[in-house]
Amino acid sequence: MISQTVYTETISVPSSAASPNRVNRMHDATVLDEHLATHAIALKSISKSFGSVTALHQTDLSVRKGEFLTLLGPSGSGKTTLLNLIAGAIGPTTGVIFLDGRDITSVPPRERGIGMVFQNYALMPHMTVFDNVAYPLRARHHPAVTIRAKVMEALDRVGLHGFEDRKPRQLSGGQQQRVGIARCIVYSPAIIMMDEPLGALDKNLREQMMGEIKRLHKDLGTTIIYVTHDQEEALYMSDRICLMSMGQIAQLGTPDELYFQPRNRFVAEFIGESNLISGRIIGDGQMMIAGNRSIAVPCSGCVEGSDLLIMIRPEKVQISGTDEPFKEDSNVLFGEVAGSSFIGGMTRVAVNTENGLNVMAKLVSDRAESRPEPGARVRVCWSSSDVVVLEK
């Protein structure tokens, strides 16, 4: 729990006992204490500027104990700045950082009890696997018997039993990454942070390591904060995703929430693939789009005449022949197949509609002879329940 001294420094409380503000702030203090007690990390009004450049705007973020939270976003979005602030590699311009309810804003990195796994592994080439993993324990002056037991347990957890006498140059990229993870978990840090740890691996090895990191998180129950620009990693491994854009949180939520209910255009385009259609509300649940076509949208409270932007995921779009039946609640457009791309289990089909839209569908792949041919006349349709209204 956070101490009263730290809390007083964070929020000023009037000295007058009769003041109603004093009662309200004391209540807020209790709420804040209860909130911090259930979270591994809590950031309050954290920001970071480098001269005139703001890398991170004022941000509030809480990470639950035992949670796998991914900081996702393009280069320059602020995710690595946020990670470095939590680790203590840099200090904030404003705000407070709490770890298990304790103010660690000014605590040196070595005293925060946070483990780090790096993209480049950061292994010491002259040391054996055993010595690399043992290094954090030796730096903390653990006895030799304890060090050996903990190192062997950590190597077992990452599937490297029997590799303890090898040097890093004798290991594959995936094995080196596992050593980096073992070195991180060997001293049981309260929080493990991973900075794009799979960025240097090939696709098959990356998928294997994603499964191993997810399994390790389940086994350890440790809080993990994971940084990546790869949406596939984020969707597969995370309990929640914090999507960053231009030094701010664009959306925070579960993988399902970010994929099926994106808040705005940036989220819709960054997570997965999307069809975006703009138009104008012409009535209750009706929107006028290009070519003076009307479609149904889930926007009963929208003001008539207002502009609207909607999203439909490609896998929700169906393609059929022009004379085939369709569901009564579907939005229907006619067009011509512009092309198709076979991507294994799925096939992307691009359709140019008669009213000037480009609509993409993702279909379960069939044999080449059964796929829509370029130039074929087709009908595209989607249910109004699959439409997502985006913020402007």
Burial of residue 369 (number of CB atoms within 10 Å: 0-12, 13-18, 19+): exposed
Same domain? 200 vs 85 = yes
One domain for residues 181 and 142 = yes
Q: Is the CB of residue 6 less than 8 Å from the CB of residue 29? A: no
Give the span between the Cα atoms of 31 and 37, in whole angstroms. 10
196: left (phi over 0), alpha (psi -120 to 50) or beta: left
106 three-class SS: coil
**How is residue 149 annotated by DSSP?**
H
Q: What is the CATH number of the domain that holds 159?
A: 3.40.50.300
- How many CB atoms lie under 10 A from the CB of residue 307? 11
Residue 304 placed within a domain: yes
Alpha-carbon span 150 to 128, nearest angstrom: 16
Cα of 135 vs its chain's centroid, Å: 31
Let me know whether 197 and 328 are in one domain: no
325 domain residue, yes or no: yes
Residue finishing a domain among 268, 290, 307:
268
Q: Are residues 259 and 281 in the same domain?
A: no
**Cα–Cα distances in Å, from 312 out to 3, 13, 359, 364?**
49, 50, 9, 17
Question: What are the start-end ranges of the H helices in 60-120?
Answer: 79-87
Residues 182 and 72 in one domain: yes
Domain housing 298: 273-390
Task: Provide the pLDDT for residue 326.
Answer: 62
Q: What is the pLDDT of residue 107?
A: 94
In angstroms and rounded to an integer, the radius of gyration of the C-alpha atoms of the chain is: 26
**Residue 45: inside a domain:** no
Do 246 and 303 lie in a common domain? no
Task: Give a yes or no: residue 161 inside a domain.
Answer: yes
Residues near 191 by Cβ (< 8 Å), separated by ≥ 6? 40, 41, 63, 86, 99, 113, 114, 115, 222, 223, 224, 225
Q: DSSP alpha helices (H): ranges in the chain?
A: 4-10, 20-37, 79-87, 129-139, 144-157, 173-185, 203-220, 231-237, 255-260, 265-270
Residue 63 in tokens: 């990470």
> Would residue 101 be called left, alpha or beta, if left means φ above 0 and alpha means ψ between -120 and 50 degrees?
left
Instruction: Please write down the long-range contacts of 200-207, taking CB distance under 8 Å and 24 or more positions apart.
Output: 200/119, 200/120, 200/173, 201/173, 201/174, 201/177, 205/172, 205/173, 205/174, 206/233
In a domain, 30, yes or no: no
Same domain, 232 and 309: no
**Cβ contact 56:30 at 8 Å:** no
Could you say which DSSP state residue 18 is in?
Answer: T
256 phi, psi to nearest 5 deg: -60, -45
Q: Which residues in the chain land under pLDDT 70?
A: 1-37, 322-329, 368-370
CB 240 within 8 Å of CB 252:
yes
Answer whether 378's CB lies under 8 Å from 322's CB. Answer: yes
Rounded distance between C-alpha atoms, residue 343 and residue 360, angstroms:
14
Number of domains making up the chain: 2
Burial 284-293 (b: 16+ CB within 10 A, else e): eebbebeeeb
pLDDT score, position 201: 77
Q: pLDDT per residue over 72-128, tens digit each?
A: 999 999 999 999 999 999 999 999 999 999 999 999 998 888 988 887 778 999 999
Domain assignment of residue 54, yes or no: no
331-370 pLDDT tens trace: 999 999 999 888 888 889 999 999 999 999 998 887 766 6
- Is 304 found in the same domain as 286? yes
The pLDDT of residue 284 is: 79
Q: What is the pLDDT of residue 34?
A: 58
Beta-strand runs (E) in 313-376: 318-320, 330-343, 346-353, 358-364
